[in-house]
Amino acid sequence: VKSNFRTAITIPERSWSRFRDIFTEMCDKMDSQQSSAPATTAGESSSTPTEQPDAAKED
């Protein structure tokens, strides 16, 4: 079975420092977003479920 997505990329050695800086910046942004978001545990949802009317039921 052939995958339709890449599992690896090649970065030329001359671009390592630029890639490192960009990747570090992205990781820092993700960390700051995670720390500002409310903590949830596994199985716990951050949003409250809303009850949807059942359109299939008829009286």
What pLDDT, in 10s, does the model give residues 3-39? 788 888 899 999 999 999 999 999 999 999 988 877 6
What per-residue confidence (pLDDT) applies to 5?
A: 84
Residue 29 CA to chain centroid, in angstroms?
Answer: 12
Amino acid found at 11: I
Tokens of 13: 């050695």
What per-residue confidence (pLDDT) applies to 52?
A: 52
What per-residue confidence (pLDDT) applies to 56?
A: 52
Whether this model's pTM surpasses 0.85: no
Q: How many CA atoms lie within 13 A of 40 on its CB side?
A: 10
φ, ψ (nearest 5 deg) of residue 36:
-85, -15
